[in-house]
Amino acid sequence: MIKRKYLKYDIQINEQYIIKQLVKCFVYKNSTNNLKKWKKDIYYLFNQVPYMKPFRRFPTYKQLRRWTINHFEKGLEYKIHRIIWNLPLDEYPRIFNDYEKEYIMSKFIIEYYNWLIKEIAVNGMVSQQNTYKKIDDLIVKYENEVIKNQLKINKGGK
């Protein structure tokens, strides 16, 4: 069991790194053969929570949302922009520089966290297999959204 303030800190301390790994998963998929490593990093950084003292229960969805999404959501698009900007040019292609794609990427990250904290609030943990599958499913979903937006832009519409 752990005190609430320590659990909140433990969750938030890895937030930036998880976001960075999610951005890499979305932007580069497996073009560098690192997708499995990035998903593994994401999984091991936040896959379970212990019972909280003194209540002997898992944190609620509302608490987990406050400690995660509500904590980073406001500046998420800017964080995504900075993460992409700081990726080594020789190692990764520079893509996803426009606002629309950063907006879509932020939706991808928020949907992942929503799924994760719902699972953790109920079960206290999430499986590695489900985490990998969820990331893969979201990549496909939001990649299709990027393509739809590109088609709209190419046709001159919004």
Q: Tokens 């229960």 identify what position?
A: 57
H-helix or E-strand containing 50?
A: none
Domain ranges of the chain: 4-155
Q: What is the CA radius of gyration of the chain?
A: 17
Distance, in Å, from the CA atom of 18 to the CA atom of 10, rounded to the nearest integer, reads 13
Per-residue pLDDT, 97: 44
Distance, in Å, from the CA atom of 8 to the CA atom of 52, rounded to the nearest integer, reads 11
Per-residue pLDDT, 143: 84
Which residue ranges of the chain lie beneath pLDDT 50? 94, 97
The predicted-structure confidence for 60-93, as pLDDT tens digits, reads as follows 899 999 999 998 888 998 898 888 888 766 555 5
